[in-house]
Amino acid sequence: EAQVTQNPRYLITVTGKKLTVTCSQNMNHEYMSWYRQDPGLGLRQIYYSMNVEVTDKGDVPEGYKVSRKEKRNFPLILESPSPNQTSLYFCASSPHDRGLVGYTFGSGTRLTVV
């Protein structure tokens, strides 16, 4: 089944403890992206990648890192999480870097930083 897989679905962590949220897609898509979703603010883009070894900042990149060493994987790294990074995170992929055919989203990761 064609899909975007995120792990974990739920995560509670403490301030300052490094964590990684994984994202993998099996559709051979070039474009991958991370979003956070917060009440009243909608979906905001954190980072995106147009292809292997190519990453760019989105609207809210502060406090996050990403890497794209392989086409299928696009992990989101929080080196030192803070409570304002408590949010619902979505990974998405697309076969085109401009979303011409729309994104496929993962099921989300609910992160709580205490």
> Using CB under 8 A as the criterion, which residues of the chain lie in contact with other proteins when the complex forms?
4, 33, 35, 37, 39-45, 48, 58, 88, 90, 92, 97-108, 110
8 or 99: CB nearest other proteins = 99
Residue 15 CB, nearest distance to other proteins (Å)? 22
79 or 84: CB nearest other proteins = 84
Residue 81 CB, nearest distance to other proteins (Å)? 19
35 or 74: CB nearest other proteins = 35
Residue 91 CB, nearest distance to other proteins (Å)? 8
**Cα–Cα distance between 83 and 94 in angstroms, integer?**
30
Residue 52 CB, nearest distance to other proteins (Å)? 17
- For the purposes of burial, counting CB atoms within 10 Å of the CB of 64, is it exposed (0-12), middle (13-18) or buried (19 or more)? buried
Strand partners, 93: 32, 104
Q: How far is CA 23 from CA 34, 39, 67, in A?
A: 9, 23, 11
Q: Could you give the angle at the alpha carbon of 2 between the alpha carbons of 102 and 4, nearest 5°?
A: 70
